[in-house]
Chains A and B, each alone.
Chain A
Amino acid sequence: MLQVRDLTLAHGDLKVVERLSLSFRNGELTALVGPNGAGKSTLLRALFGDHRASSGEILLDGERLTPASHRAWQSAISYMPQENRGRMGLSAMETVLLGSLGRLTLHVPEDELRRAAIALDQFGLAEISHRSLDELSGGQKQLVFFAQALLRDPRVMLLDEPVSALDLRHQHLLMDDVRRLCRERSMITVVVLHDLNLAVRFADRLVMLCPDMTCVDGTPAQVLDQALLGRVYGVDTRVSLDEDGHPWVQVRGATR
């Protein structure tokens, strides 16, 4: 279990998250939603131990994140940042292999190569394993990074907008894999998503960070409230139920 207690996060003097308390369970897929600037990415980085909290604490299975436990903490977590670079000349295989960075030597051991190759094959990437990332589609690239993240054998998965650059089909393919592996490996999984309907379809739970630094936490049906969305996002929405009984958000326009 990953717990956040009274967590306050800031960029310099600007607070983005204030006195937040949450807990994330094993095998549960949490979608982190909210408007731009609400602190979703910052929270994710803080959970990975890459952004120092102004106050409050973070615990993984009861162990606190401290400067002393930082290394061990990060080795238990896979964090997939947002796409942030133009050219990447490494091949898919080399990229996935980096997932076991600590065990790589100048001559890569056979079993490390095998682990990486199996990971690539699992996502149907064996064919393109030696193409450079620059030559891959956005969807393939995200799958490569996801395979890399999994190679670390993490207890916690933190994915920052993994599908925002993907087409509809690849959004669903990737999220299918995320949910399946979250269950299979009983990983704590937190995914930042912008598409609320995608969040409804895949997440067990929604955590919505609001610009006023409050947070709404609950099942999709609880969080996706028409009035709440209107207030938080500044949009005019209709929330209805689709044929499967899932809430369905229809945005009719921005409120001025």
Chain B
Amino acid sequence: MTNPAVDLVIAMHRRIERRRMVALLGLLLLLGGLMVLDIATGPALLPISDVLATLAGPAEADMTLRAIVWDLRLPMALMALTVGVALGTSGATMQTLLDNPLASPYTLGLAAAAGFGAALCIQNGGWGLNPSFIVPFCAFVMACLAAATIYGVGNIRGMGTDTMVLAGIALLFMFHSLQSLLQFRATPEVGQQIVFWLFGSLAKATWTSVQITALACLIAVPLLMREAWKMTALRLGEQRARALGVNIVWLRFVTIALISFMTATAISFVGTIGFIGLVAPHLSRLLVGEDQRFLLPLSGLVGALLLSAASVISKILMPGVLVPVGIVTAVVGVPFFMHLILSRRRLAL
């Protein structure tokens, strides 16, 4: 029994899926190109052909070139990629989960918590431990604590999403104040170190930190994708999602745990990078809609694209100076975000 109308609906659905897949692949290609550009830019501008040749065959490449590409710039470029993926995917998940367009790792205080953790650690001289390990570790622990607090508060108050967002914003203010207090009391040298950490910079990237962040993403993103349909159901509202058989308490626990782990890992190595986690999901939603199977990976991709672009800009903004990428994302991010708000208003009217 074939029904042409039914077949048409199915064909349309498949066509839309294909189109979204093409959008994903297209942006993936763009990201690849941007990463090569990212590696090429810096104090020494490299020709793209040299970059490609060195990437393809490091053994035959010139020693200096190999050192610049493989030891300095590739870790940074890959860090931009993984951190962008972590922030973008987490932002999308948070916005879906908390049903709030303002949710992101930054606005809910995770980044501020990480900053405070790092500042606390720097202030105390890392308790005599290796700073390249203990500073990210403290940042990670504090960010996880913030996430657990947000989750806990939502749990007490009957899991209200608005309460969770409010709790996150309150944490943002609290951790900012605590961190200011530390800075206020710190000696100029220590204060300088704290400020440098807070700026958010990819220059701190090493192969080890890249590998750890990539591993966190490789664990968290596929597990998040398993919940994609449930999160899509959540877009119909909590009550309707429950009516479809979604265990919301459990879903919230699993996803918050995953994204906290992923973002805490990412920001503990690079510092505070705002706006990526907020803007990437909104941009992606414009492209592929609310189907979380596409929205989550695309948000990660767009996050990586934005951070790679910011990284390129941060290197050419002031020749010879590497402006911390955290500054660039915010400066480029604000006008972008304003545009987004305004164009949305036009749509809503």
Contact = CB atoms under 8 A, between A and B. Distances in A.
A126 B229 contact: no
A117 B245 contact: no
A126 B8 CA distance: 8
Interface in B256-307: 285, 289-291, 293
Interface in B224-277: 225, 228-230, 232-233, 235-237, 239-240, 242-246
B229 A98 contact: yes
B289 A84 contact: no
Interface string B1-41: 00101111110111010000000000000000000000000
Contact of A121 (B6, B13, B244): B6
A85 interface: yes
Contact of B285 (A88, A89, A126): A89
Contact of A114 (B10, B240, B293): B10
Contacts of B229: 98, 101, 104
B289 A93 contact: no
Contacts of B235: 88-90
B232 to A, nearest CB: 7
Nearest to B348: A87
A98 B225 CA distance: 16
Interface stretch (A13-21, A75-83, A208-216): A75-83
A89 B9 contact: no
Interface residues of B, number: 32
Interface string A108-129: 1010011011101100001001
Contacts of A91: 289
A74 B245 CA distance: 7
A95 interface: yes
Interface string B198-235: 00000000000000000000000000010011101101
Nearest to A120: B9
A117 B9 contact: yes
Contacts of B6: 114, 117-118, 121, 126
Contacts of A78: 243
A98 B289 contact: no
A28 interface: no
A129 B10 CA distance: 10
B13 A99 contact: no
A102 interface: yes
Contact of B236 (A93, A98, A102, A117): A98
Contacts of B16: 130
Contacts of B13: 93, 108, 113, 117, 129-130
B74 to A, nearest CB: 31
B233 A84 contact: no
Contact of B233 (A101, A118, A121, A130): A101
Contacts of A113: 10, 13-14
Interface of A: 48, 50, 71, 74-75, 78-81, 84-85, 88-91, 93-95, 98-99, 101-102, 104, 106, 108, 110, 113-114, 116-118, 120-121, 126, 129-130, 132, 145, 148-149, 152
- Per CB-CB distance, the 10 closest pairs between chain A and chain B, nearest first, are A117-B9, A85-B237, A126-B5, A81-B239, A89-B290, A79-B243, A117-B6, A104-B229, A129-B9, A101-B244
